Structure formats: structure tokens, C-alpha cells
Amino acid sequence: MTAEFVRLEVADGVGTIRLDRPKAMNAISIQVQDELALAAAEATDRGDIRAVVLWGGEKVFAAGNDVKEMASMSYTDMVDRVEKLQHAVNAIARIPKPVVAAINGYALGGGCELTLAADVRFAADSAVLGQPEILLGIIPGAGGTQRLPRLVGPSKAKDLLYTGRFVKADEALAIGLVDRVVPAADVYAEAVAWASTFATAAPYALRAIKESVDRGLEVDLETGLQIERHSFTAIFATEDSRTGMQSFIENGPGKATFEGR
């Protein structure tokens, strides 16, 4: 399938997954969700991509799922649709590399949920986030009832989910919905700069950290510590671990560059 609305652009070790459906404010249609899943798979597989930026361009991140497309869908249509939607968002969440969402403009509904699949979120000072599904008489289906409370806590999440109200960047920062607020013109560059710091970092260690944190959040502490123990010992099978520790001994901290072996 040739991607029409989601592009993967790669420069200097950073892959940008770029939503580009401006006429509909990057609304996530069936085609967009399928293209997102393909872009996530490619970003996962490509060795020249060491970190990922998720971006919707300078005007809007994404105004949610495509309401015009959804409005006429039946229960049975939706059974398949929501499974594929969650598959696409999960594919982003499971990219085994650092992923940052760069948010300009609106990130609403499925758009906000897409940002929740990133590891961190940088927002424009003019960004607006929210889960307005309730105002349509529906609920989030791209992980909002699950990832949002895990990120901001259940009561703040329920406030946003129950009311559907829009959250400006400063409040989003205060409640932990975003991690950094910057001038709108700088969001993408800041996100790329953050992602670029991983271009020569140890990829297997990054992957192991991401997996340990994400899987650990789903289980009890003892199981989480066991996941960490296994990842910790496994990382000693990589050449990167030799390179990193030897470089510390010879040159001091933070000087190693890693080839991903």
C-alpha cells in the first residue's frame, strides 16, 4: 500500500512519522490508522532509525478519529475497526526505540491517544489536548481510558474523560499530560534534538529499558523486578555493554558511541 497520509522521513538516525491529512485536521480514518501501523513497523525494523518523532505538522497534531467516517458505522463494523485502531496505536507504543510526540495545535480524541503511545510529549505553548469523545456520545477507543489514567492518575483522567474539556499546554504540563512546553515554532526541532541524542546511544540498552518500564507498569513489583533482572543480565551479552563500560574505564563517563551489536 502506498502511504498517502502518513510518511516516514529519516535523517541522521531519527525517523519522523508525519501525519499529513490537512483537509481533515489529520483525522484518523481507517486508511490513516493502517498507514500508521505500517510506518510503526518500518520504524521498528530499520536499523538506521535509532529514535522516532511523531508529528502532525505545524498546524495540528490530530483532531481525533474521523468522525465523518465513524458516524455511519455499525457495531459489527466497529468490532474490526477498533481492533485495527488499537493495533496501530500499540504498534507505535511498541516501537523498541525512544519515541517523542511533537504536538502543534489540537491533539484530541484519537490524536491525544496517539500522543499517549509515545514515551514523552513535547507541546507547543498553543497546543490543545483533550478527550472530547463524551461530547459525541461515545468513549475513547484508542487506549484513552487505559493510558491516560496510567499517565496522569485516575481522577485527573476521569475529569478529562467525563467532561471532554480542552486542556491548554500549561495545564497539560502541570498534570503531566505533556513533559515540555516550548514556543510553537520550536516544537519539532526540540523533539528532533531530543531524539538525536539517541543516534549514537546504546540501542539494546534503550530497548531493554523501554520494555522493562512498560511491561513493569503492568505487573506487580516483584514481577517487574524479575523482568528488570532478566533484561539486566541479557544486556551483558551485547558488545555495546563492553564498549560502554570499557570506554568509561579508559575515557570517563558519557564518551562511548555504540554500534548496536
Spatial separation of the C-alpha atoms in residues 124 and 169, rounded to whole Å = 7
Q: How far is the CB of 54 from ligand CAA (least distance, A)?
A: 16
- Asked if 110 touches ligand CAA (CB under 6 A), the answer is yes
- Asked if 24 touches ligand CAA (CB under 6 A), the answer is yes
For 128-248, list the strands marked E by DSSP. 128-130, 167-168, 180-182
Q: Which CB sits closer to ligand CAA, 14 or 32?
A: 32
- Asked if 142 touches ligand CAA (CB under 6 A), the answer is yes
* 8 Å CB contact between 261 and 47: no
* Binding-site member from 6, 8, 14, 25 for ligand CAA (CB under 6 A): 25
- Asked if 15 touches ligand CAA (CB under 6 A), the answer is no
- Asked if 56 touches ligand CAA (CB under 6 A), the answer is no
Binding mask 65-84 for ligand CAA (x = CB under 6 A): xxxx----------------
Coil, helix or strand at residue 119: coil
How would you class 160 by CB atoms within 10 Å of its CB: exposed for 0-12, middle for 13-18, buried for 19 or more? Answer: buried
Q: How far is the CB of 247 from ligand CAA (least distance, A)?
A: 45
Spatial separation of the C-alpha atoms in residues 250 and 255, rounded to whole Å = 10
Q: Which CB sits closer to ligand CAA, 145 or 196?
A: 145
* 8 Å CB contact between 144 and 113: yes
* 8 Å CB contact between 101 and 121: yes
Report the largest interatomic distance among the alpha carbons of the chain, rounded to a whole angstrom.
65
Q: Which CB sits closer to ligand CAA, 131 or 238?
A: 131
* Binding-site member from 34, 35, 113, 119 for ligand CAA (CB under 6 A): 113
Q: How big is the site for ligand CAA, counted in residues (CB under 6 A)?
A: 22
Q: Which CB sits closer to ligand CAA, 53 or 60?
A: 60
Chain centroid to CA 141: how far? 16
- Asked if 144 touches ligand CAA (CB under 6 A), the answer is yes
Residue 101 belongs to what H/E stretch?
strand 99-103
- Asked if 108 touches ligand CAA (CB under 6 A), the answer is yes
Spatial separation of the C-alpha atoms in residues 59 and 121, rounded to whole Å = 16
* Binding-site member from 10, 78, 120, 136 for ligand CAA (CB under 6 A): 136
List binders of ligand CAA among 170-189 (CB under 6 A).
none
Phi, psi of 159 (to 5 degrees): -55, -50
Q: Site residues (CB under 6 A) for ligand CAA?
A: 24-25, 27, 63-68, 85, 106, 108-110, 113, 132-133, 136, 140-142, 144
